[in-house]
Amino acid sequence: MRHSASSSCWPADAEAAGRRRGTAVRWLLDEQLSPRLAGALRALSVPAARLGDDDELAVGADDADVIAHCLRTARVVVSSSSDMVIMCAEEGQRVVWLDPWSREFTRDEQVVTLITHLQEIERLLADGAECVRVLRTRVEALEVEEAARLAGQRLRGLTITAPKKG
């Protein structure tokens, strides 16, 4: 079942408030992000849901299915997964990338960081950014090719430091 603007995941007042702020962008947070983040965003009138909140996509949904769903429903993916950022770049899906860079964000840091930078993220999305990269101290719009390149570096860094099998 799809949620309408009047459902609990997409409160009508959140979408109306988003339009008043100049953006009605709906966010879909992937499952590795804090469950509290969607609620915190909704409390600030940002129409946000997390995988598992929407009957159409359960926790554990394949990344390709998440992207296809977001493309169909005009949602922005919010993720800290380098794999997801690369896939979004390949498919032309808008993404807010919570880039952990040298160390993963704790769940509390995820909430504080996104809320701290919320106005700048929304401004960049309203200006048409395809990828908004969120670091601990700054936010920037990236071309999708640059986002994919940086995400690939993160993955290679993980591969290089991973213990060898055998």
Tally of residues, the chain: 166
**pLDDT tier, 15 (very low <50, low <70, confident <90, very high otherwise):** very low
Per-residue confidence (pLDDT) for residue 158, from 0 to 100: 54
Given a cut of 80, whether residue 16 has pLDDT beyond it is: no
Average pLDDT over residues 69-96: 95
Per-residue confidence (pLDDT) for residue 157, from 0 to 100: 73
Distance separating alpha carbons of residues 50 and 33, to the nearest angstrom: 8
- Domain-located, residue 166: no
Q: Are 135 and 121 in contact (CB under 8 A)?
A: no
- Domain-located, residue 57: yes
Per residue in 137-162, pLDDT (tens digit) is 999 999 989 999 999 998 887 544 43
Q: Position of tokens 């079942």?
A: 1
Q: Say which CATH number the domain at 115 has.
A: 3.40.50
- Domain-located, residue 120: yes
What 3-state class would DSSP assign to 54? Answer: coil
Per-residue confidence (pLDDT) for residue 20, from 0 to 100: 45
- Domain-located, residue 3: no
Given a cut of 90, whether residue 8 has pLDDT beyond it is: no
Range of the domain at 136: 12-160
| Inter-CA distances, 166 with 39, 161, 162, Å | 44, 15, 13
When divided into structural domains, the chain yields a total of 1
pTM, two decimals, is: 0.80
Distance separating alpha carbons of residues 161 and 152, to the nearest angstrom: 14
- Domain-located, residue 4: no
- Domain-located, residue 165: no
What 3-state class would DSSP assign to 91? Answer: helix
Structure tokens that stand for 117 in this block? 């930078």
- Domain-located, residue 70: yes
- Domain-located, residue 84: yes
Per residue in 115-145, pLDDT (tens digit) is 999 999 999 999 999 999 999 999 999 998 9
Per residue in 17-73, pLDDT (tens digit) is 444 444 579 999 999 899 999 999 999 999 999 998 866 688 889 999 999 999 999
- The β-bridge partners of 133 are 97, 140
